[in-house]
Chains A and B, each alone.
Chain A
Amino acid sequence: MTPSLTLAVTAGVLVAAGVYLLTERSLTRILMGVLVMSNGVNLLFLVAMGPAGNPAIIGAFDGATMSDPLPQAMVLTAIVITMAVSAFVITMAYRSFQLNGNDEVSDDIEDARIRALAERDDVSDSYEDATFSDTGEDVVSE
């Protein structure tokens, strides 16, 4: 079997474009990236399938000229999953827009807080609690 170069190159370009879009902050662009990338991956299944042939209907065509139906079934499943993903991500982007006025994937707030603590070389309140407070001064004052 000789794989189709056109399909392979197209899949590569689509996946590359998709990965680039995935690195964006905006959920809408990420969704575009996922769509483009999943199309690229689906093309890979067509590469794996081999050359195009007759529909895989037993009795209608000679078995040797049929195309392999299994990758088609897999691509179909993948397309359905991608559709569901798109619906969900669009909803998320809209909800995020409702809440924040944008649809950006933001940084981890708690993470940033802890990093700031580390940079200030700060310690927690209980750090002092752990040291002995009974220095004898209390005894003197009493």
Chain B
Amino acid sequence: MNNLLTMPVLLPILGAGLTLLLGRRPRAQRFVSVFVLFLVVVVAAVLAVQAHTDGVQHLWVGAWPTGYGIALVGDRLAAIMLTVASVITLAVLVYSTGQDEQELKHETPISIFHPTFLVMCAGVSAAFLAGDLFNLFVGFEVLLFASYVLLTMGGTGPRMRAGATYVVVNLLSASLFLTAIATVYAATGTVNLAELAVRLPELDTHTQAIIQVMLLVVFGLKAAVFPMSAWLPDSYPTAPAPVTAVFAGLLTKVGVYAMLRTQTLLFPHRPLTELLLWVALFTMLVGILGAIAQSELKRLLSFTLVSHIGYMVMGIALATQTGLAGAIFYTAHHITIQATLFLVAGLVQRVGGSNSLDKLSGLAQMSPLLAVLFIVPAMNLAGIPPFSGFIGKLGLLNAGVGVGTPLAWALVVASVVTSLLTLYAVAKVWNRAFWGTPILPSGRTPGADDDDDDEDPATDRALPPAQVGATCLLIGLSLVLTVGAGPLYEYTSQAATSLRDGNYAAVVLQEVDR
């Protein structure tokens, strides 16, 4: 029993209600939502410590006789995901408060933005903490619904077009998920994950295979895994920068989390390694080749997002302790880094007036600070040592070599190639957008001899402190992941071990037996 488990869901929901009431008072609204998300960060951190020291935390909500109510479960995996996710959402929210009035009207009508954002946070928390499949579905629906609203915010032409694809894809995945749940219930008579962990292995292998593949398709669709990834680069880039950042950082990772959870808990004895390794291979390569072809910063980043999901799927596919540890570490790293890069893309839009690489040039001269803010996470994404991206990739490569089948070796090679191609893609952005002669949006180039012109870009388009601060916070977090990689990797290692030792089901079901 741990009542703290309800807080990451309840706090944002209450906050959403309150901010909706405060719709006409932007200042109070901002204060409430930042405060609420700060509390969630604290709660998540406490849960992470508790899960580490006292083992799996669980709660049967509503004090029903145990086994009947809804179970919330927080083990190390859920807790670390929750912690990283809540820090990201807090940083993105702070970033969004830095938008000035003009931008707010254009990008994010604030009275709706804050409540919807908080509802999305509640959905993410609910999905991470869900102890049964149906609650996982509800968590997904809550976060998806909020994301529909955030994605189509303002109802402009491009956003309606991008939103339509996104909504249709997710409606299909919701129907598939429900079908899978009905199948699971018909086969086992329960949807509780802990009970399923006991009952599913008793079914005949064909039924198990059907259920497993259905769940993998559903979560693969949400995580944007290769054959089902085309919707992502199409729909993400048109949204406002903070929205894209949090989508890219979190929403696909919730799918990855669900895959990790179901693969390790429900099907530990049938990891489908071959199939998933092929999927991971194609996700990596197709994603990164797509990124290289792009000439728009946000689209390029969306493609790298798809590509790097492949690394996490690789870890899940290997299903060894080292593989899972690598996948969990990589997920935590990638949530941070991808969100940071999209926030920087928002700043690029602000300074350069565009996100198209054809229209950007000389940003490093116009704003050296922005150049630093871009290059650090970009190098981290490409996996340049000593950043956390390198450490995560090293862990996965190690796991791949450890398995040692030809296909695992192919994956090792593919992940190195993908890493190099990622470096190529971000170097392309660096060359075309940050180097060269600055072009001002008005079309004139500042004369090199004229000293007065140097101040022009700075005064015209100064970077708002809140946005720079939030981006710095996330870069700081990624550096913490780098410097603190030792203890953190230890934590994810133990998370991976506890995913495989069957403790989850034992702890949750303990009280049923009593």
Contact = CB atoms under 8 A, between A and B. Distances in A.
User: Do A and B belong to a common assembly?
Assistant: yes
**Contact-size category for B:** 35 or more
Contacts of A111: 234
Nearest to A103: B164
Given A3-B186, A41-B182, A77 B157 contact: no
A110 B167 CA distance: 19
Interface in A1-53: 3, 15, 18, 22, 27, 30, 34, 37-38, 41-42, 44-45, 47-48
A77 B174 CA distance: 13
Interface string B147-185: 011001001010011011101100110110011011101
Given A27-B164, A92-B152, A99-B157, A45 B141 contact: no
Contacts of A30: 168, 171
Contacts of A105: 161, 164-165, 168
B161 A126 contact: no
4 closest A-B pairs by CB:
A48-B186, A44-B182, A105-B164, A108-B234
B405 interface: no
B23 to A, nearest CB: 19
B157 A114 contact: no
Nearest to B293: A114
Interface stretch (B28-36, B82-90, B294-302, B321-329): B294-302
A108 B305 CA distance: 18
B346 to A, nearest CB: 18
A84 B145 contact: yes
Interface residues of A, number: 43
A111 B233 CA distance: 9
Interface in B222-268: 234, 237
A47 B182 contact: yes
B152 A81 contact: no
| Residue from B152, B181, B182, B234 with most neighbouring chain A CB atoms (10 Å) | B182
A127 to B, nearest CB: 10
Contact of A48 (B149, B157, B167, B185): B185
Nearest to A27: B164
Interface string A82-109: 0011001100100110011000011011
B157 A126 contact: no
A138 interface: no
A15 B436 CA distance: 56
Contacts of B152: 92, 95
A44 to B, nearest CB: 4
A78 to B, nearest CB: 6
A45 B168 contact: no
Given A89-B167, A124-B357, 10 more contacts: A22-B171, A42-B178, A44-B178, A74-B185, A81-B141, A81-B174, A85-B171, A88-B149, A106-B164, A126-B432
Contact of B431 (A48, A71, A77, A126): A126
Contacts of A89: 167, 171
A34 B178 contact: no
A27 B432 CA distance: 39
Contacts of B157: 99-100
Contacts of B183: 44, 48
| Residue from B149, B160, B174, B293 with most neighbouring chain A CB atoms (10 Å) | B160
A139 interface: no
